[in-house]
Homo-oligomer: A and B are copies of this chain.
Amino acid sequence: MTELRIGMIGYGFMGRAHTNAYKRVSDFFPELKYKPVLQAVCGRNKENATAFANQWGYASVETDYNALLSRDDIDAVDICVPNDRHREIALAAAAKGKMILCEKPLAMDTTQAEEMADAVDKAGVANTVWYNYRRVPAVSLAKALVDSGKLGRIYHYRSNFLQDWCISEDVPQGGASTWRLEAASAGSGVTGDLLAHCIDTALWLNGGVANVTAMTETFVKERTHAETGKKEPVGIDDACAFLCRFKNGSLGVFESTRYACGHKALYTFEINGADASIRWDLHDLHRLEYFDHDDEGRVRGWRSIHVTDHGGDHPYMERWWVPGLQIGYEHSFVHQLADFLAALEKNAPCSPTFRDAVETQKVCDAVLKSAAARSWETV
């Protein structure tokens, strides 16, 4: 058994989710050689960082990420800060030879992302990007079905990520809780925050995107800045939709918004193949719906698969409870971490790597460019 000493940079929503994964993974994947250890958390506000360390059990606190990266007792860093700071930290961490687990989106744009991917590849450090939804068991099952060829030639891919928390004009921008609404910190709005998930999954399930046409909208033009208290223009996209052609000839339709009243985090996708179709919905994350045209005609219908079975049928589920009993959203991080640790034992990459995430970034960039130029853009 080998300790994997974690240095966590940032401690917001994602910091909590990742920390939970570090604390759970050995309970449910006891065969793994590497055992994460909560060595240090790093945040600029010492008081808050210390409170987080105390609550979650980090052994130490740093307020400067360079100090953290200089420590010999840190094997891997987890980057959970706003998007605009991913690049500098990742480059520094790679230079220090640390493994890196980076929150998505990897970067502000493709240029940054490629620089970061080059850096980790050059440094030869293990790396992964927290596109966690790949490891929801129902989504992993979807991947297995696609890979097994059950769907046949793919005609259509459609995916949405719909939220409604920005409808009120009183939601501020900037600051620790709402930096996702500030262009300087987040880069983009729903494109990088939500569509990036949809795109990552799509590339994984359906291959590369050839070209796109997109539109974006900012419905609320000004929001108070959480730190300055002043009204400032909103620079991010509140909503984004795009059409695309995949390299395999299938058509894609994607939409994301934070103004879809009634939807909290409705990430969905559907794939229509010549022989079968599948669809999934984050709000009922254990259900995979599957339609198999080969079923006998009179009993053909969409199957609602409750992805909780054992016996190898349903990915990851044997690690948890008994059939019929669900696990939560946060377990997707546990699974990704388990896969990362298993890959480490074999010196293998853990997808999505930084290099994989560059592809998602390219699509995001093409989408934003298309929306601005009102033209089709090649990815």
A-side residues, CB < 8 A to B, are: 13, 17, 20, 23-24, 26-27, 30, 54-57, 141, 144-145, 150, 155-156, 158, 162-165, 167, 213-215, 217, 219, 239, 241-243, 245, 251, 253, 255, 257, 259-266, 272-277, 282-285, 287-293, 295, 297-306, 308-309, 311, 313-314, 320-331, 374-376
Contact = CB atoms under 8 A, between A and B. Distances in A.
A13 B321 contact: yes
A272 B276 contact: no
Contacts of A298: 141, 144-145, 305, 309, 313-314
Nearest to A56: B27
Contacts of A375: 374-375
B261 A277 contact: yes
Nearest to A315: B298
Contacts of A273: 261
Contacts of A27: 20, 23, 55-57
A320 to B, nearest CB: 8
Nearest to A274: B167
Given A298-B144, A313-B298, A329-B326, A255 B253 contact: yes
A321 B329 contact: yes
B251 A321 contact: no
A117 B158 CA distance: 37
A186 to B, nearest CB: 16
A287 B326 CA distance: 13
A247 to B, nearest CB: 14
Contacts of A328: 320, 325-328, 331
Contacts of A165: 323
A129 to B, nearest CB: 19
A251 B163 contact: no
Contacts of A323: 165, 264-265
Contacts of A26: 55
Nearest to A145: B299
Contacts of A239: 155-156, 251
